[in-house]
Structures are given as C-alpha cells and as structure tokens.
Amino acid sequence: MQSTFELDATWEAEHYLDGAERERIEKTISMIPSGINNLLDVGTGNAAFLAVLEERLAISQIEGLEYSEAGIRNKLCKAPVRQGSADRLPFNKFDFDLVTCLEVLEHLPQPVFRNAVQEIQRVAGKYILVSVPYQENRVNVTCPQCNCKFNPNTHVRSFYKRDIENLFADFELTFLESFGNKREMYFGKYRNVAKQVFMGKKFPKQAVCPLCQYTLASNEMKKSVTMKSGSNKLSLIKRLFFYNAPRWYIALYKRKGI
C-alpha cells in the first residue's frame, strides 16, 4: 500500500496556496517574532509556507525538512528542503532561532510524536511556532471506488488547549489563538455519529485513498462528489445542528530563561 504522502496528487499547489490554507499560512507568518535570522520548518510538505515566507520576510537562512520524497519533488520554495524525519532531526542543538511545525503533529504515531517534540525543542534556540487542528472530531470517509474507509487527512490525534499548553517542557507558551472557520456539530457525545451520517459520505477533493489511490478526477473537482445525499433535507439538518467553529490552533513558544 503506497502512502498518501508519496503521491504527487497530495502535493498539488492549488490545495495549499488558496482559500483556507492560504489564510493559515498568512496567519503563521504574522506570528513570527522580530529578530529571527534562521528558521527551520519541520514537516514542510511541498513547502507552500516557505514559498510565501520567502516573499514576505527577509530571513537570512530558511530551511525545510520533509519525510516524503513526493513532497520534496513538488516543493514550491527556493529554500533547500532536506529529507528526514521529525523524530531524528539532522541538526545541532540550538541551530535555529525559530522552528515551525505546521499541521504535522496530528499525523504522527505516538513514539514518533513523543520524540519529535523532544527534537524540535533541541534544535530551537529561541522560539517554536506550531499549528494544529482545533479540537478535531476525526471522521472517516469511504472511497467510492474500493469502499476503503479512512481519515482523509490521515490524522491520528486531536488537540485541546491543555495539550498545547503542556507540549514543550523547555519552552513557555507566550501566545495561543484559535482561528479560521469550519462546520462543527452541537451535542458533543453524538457529534461523531452525526458527522459520519451527514458528512462522512462526502469525498473531499484533496483526499487520496490509501488502498487504491483513488482521487477525484479534475472534472469532478467542482462537484465535490457526494454519494446519495438527500440534499434539501440534509441542508436543513446541517443548518439546525451545525455551527461555525475555529479550524486551527496556533501557538508561539519561547525558550525558558532567554
């Protein structure tokens, strides 16, 4: 089974430089402290963040690290992107004034996650900037071609305020904000079941089936293929039971004692 992250379709530029993703990138850049001379982006993917950063700020040294060969192959930035894993960073202690890790930690299995947190602390000399999904209720979708059920975002954990506050032992949290917009459901304990019924049948345009590598064909993108939807009724139910919630947390940490 080929990893979703090793498919070129996962890293197509239009998924990352428009709409909500562009909003996230712009917000992240606005959070970067002054006086940063070098920056490492851990899990940079196709480096869309670094590409926009290069246009916005004059930082002497910018570097990315990415596990996926396909991500590196489709990189959008001029800065170098090294292949490597977040739990074994090929850098020295305090090599970077700022380490960013954006929409990465939610993908990592527990042993990798635990070691990645330690590695990020090790190489960050002054600051760490992290973004993660806001209190995500993870829901699977079904591939219309092979019926494989999977999380379209390949997320394995959710983050709440207490998780973010206690993430890095050697750093203090200096700023935390929730931002962006997503549809969420009332009635907490029934939320996942209802989302599976009302939203789980929709196959997102950025999703790639991990079993058969199915993705929406280009002529289907605008339709955002929904199987057996019951449209008018579903639309009314969604208005009654769903509300707007933040999409992301973004957090800035400063090394203790500096």
- For the segment 47-104, what is each residue's pLDDT rounded down to a tens digit? 999 999 999 999 999 999 999 999 999 999 999 999 999 999 999 999 999 999 999 9
What's the pLDDT band for 239 if we cut at 50, 70, 90? low
Q: What is the mean pLDDT of residues 234-252?
A: 78
- Element at 234 (helix H, strand E): helix 231-241
The pLDDT, as a whole number, for residue 8 is 81
What's the pLDDT band for 229 if we cut at 50, 70, 90? very low
The pLDDT, as a whole number, for residue 226 is 39
Whole-angstrom distance, CA of residue 189 vs CA of residue 209? 28
Share of the chain above pLDDT 90, in %: 57
What letter represents residue 52's amino acid?
V
Domains along the sequence of the chain with CATH = 4-255 (3.40.50.150)
Share of the chain above pLDDT 70, in %: 81
The pLDDT, as a whole number, for residue 108 is 94
The pLDDT, as a whole number, for residue 221 is 42
The pLDDT, as a whole number, for residue 93 is 97
Residue 185 falls in which region: left (phi positive, over 0), alpha (psi -120 to 50) or beta = beta
The pLDDT, as a whole number, for residue 118 is 98
Question: What pLDDT digit, counting tens, does each position of 172-223 carry?
Answer: 999 999 999 877 766 554 555 555 555 545 777 777 787 787 887 643 543 4
Beta strands in the chain (DSSP E): 38-42, 61-66, 81-83, 96-102, 124-133, 141-142, 149-150, 171-179, 182-185, 242-245, 248-255
CB 121 within 8 A of CB 115: no
Inform me whether the pLDDT recorded for 116 exceeds 70: yes
Question: What pLDDT digit, counting tens, does each position of 152-168 carry?
Answer: 778 889 999 999 999 99
Q: What is the mean pLDDT of residues 228-245?
A: 62
What DSSP line would sit under 130-188, residue for residue? EEEEBS-----EE-TTT--EE-TT-----B-HHHHHTS-TTEEEEEEEEES-EEEESSG
The lowest-confidence range among 3-17, 79-93, 105-119, 120-134 is: 3-17
The pLDDT, as a whole number, for residue 151 is 78
Distance of CA 168 to the CA centre of its chain: 19
Q: What is the mean pLDDT of residues 216-233?
A: 47
Task: Tell the residue number behind the tokens 């954006």, with chain if given.
Answer: 102
Average pLDDT of the residues of the chain: 85
For residue 90, what are its two tokens?
């090929």
> Which among 55, 48, 59, 57 is positioned nearest to 23, based on CA atoms?
48
The pLDDT, as a whole number, for residue 9 is 74
Reduced to 3 states, what is the DSSP secondary structure of residue 70?
Answer: helix
The pLDDT, as a whole number, for residue 233 is 57
